Structure 1
């Protein structure tokens, strides 16, 4: 039984099916798709239209997700499909996230060559070789999980990232890939809006890490700008922290919409109370999609948000998409030694003995190895 089927319930008063993958919990009559555009009620079952149909597959540095405390300097095969569980008017991947998969149209993923391809190729273990020797070619527009493992190997990557659009809409596909990746000794990470249900997360195989977009600390913002609600996202972040899955959080700072001192204090106080060791990435907004009239976020606003985060008690606060900004680096909170230095999406220096500061022995939280 698939994850989608396990999370499907029937409305007793009608023939409609309720999807339990995300907090929208769409109630769908026969022939209708959910708000994500990617879950279809057909023949008395819910079907994930984006499963097996990535539109983008290419190698990325893990720092681009951004995940700064997870295997720094490693590369990941980034997988993206069409559809999303939110409808953010500022979406910076709107060309795929707000597109809708057509079940009748074959899709061949766009594979881009990045610098990560020149890195040392992972040695092929017995399990990885066996997986890659299975059906690992695209057939009738469907990319099987084995093909993702093959692509990860061929592009010299260390892991797989479910990213660019919301992975919740193809959770069964992701689960199959995670299981094969574990056997092939690749790690898996998620970049998510955090709108999946707790029940969906509980059914997923164990994965290495996740970055959640905490888009605002205002429910009004979520309802008006994203077509969603704040509380389910907070509950998912709390659940991930309790479960011990490595978690980093990103906030895209949008002028006049979510950048007030009051809101940023509320957000960072809540996050620090959950754990001061959760890295918080402050991203600079650029005009896009339906918010082309909103100006770029000023660098000074990013610096102000970083100061607020640190004052709240967060130990690791980053200006993640401002190349050359010193706040891209990870410093030891005890002695101040630069532990991981970065320029843009590249890690340039690591001063760790395993996961410990080489100067004072402080243990840096995260996933290192």
Structure 2
């Protein structure tokens, strides 16, 4: 039985194609601390070590949901955090590790849709201590284990086929429905496009080396391409990139640098591509105008990619310090005491699980 939704969510199909072109996605990351994102915008957060232990609002457009939504999602988040603690203990046994160390258990669950709102793909991936652990193969309803420790989980989960079936149903149905609802609720923020402003600057090193840096900022959504060209040819060697980063005002920033011999600067150009641009920008270093920003003022009628993410890291003993970054798909919670597989035992529990906030319950 699917959980009842707040009356606010009786919305029908969103006409996504009228706004921007591009796929959309919703992702949840689970552990003791959870942070949710819709289209690169944080919208919810839960911290099991906080005094209130309640799901917290992080986006103004979420104030439209009623109290039942917050209460239900808070209870699900609390139960999820408790189960993650039990499952983390199990993984310590699988890898012969002591309780005195610091370890992380993570999970990413979500879906992507086409511009017309139809299902594109889904994923349920898990990691332990920042490395791939196990992931769902949605087509075969099997689990792909990354190492011998994860083989224990694979055997247990595949022995309970209903677990994979429930995940598949969530990814292809419920996840898509919630993605459309969140997108509709926050459309003024989530479906906008902000073009980047960009510039090229020159930097000299202590040994006389020279580099040009192409920096873009103020853009939304986060996906952007910065490419260095030498005499019109893409330059991959001697090029350095930083990951796209939040700008602190709801937009993003990124830069790419290329090294060269002095006197070669005029052979290089930076190409900036973003969905808010009618056409790519082509920028060169201009000594007399190196401090000026090029503002891209033409937006394209393309649809924003929507990402909803709930992110976090489970930490044994000290939850709020020394978290290790996740470098791959997140691992799912595991078995309980004595190696017993934890999973939903009722239709109601499956409903909660399929909302994206549940987990393998005892």
More strand by share: 2
Greater RCO, 1 or 2 (C-alpha within 8 Å, sep 6+): 2
Q: TM-score band (shorter)?
A: under 0.3
- Choose 1 or 2 for highest CA Rg: 2
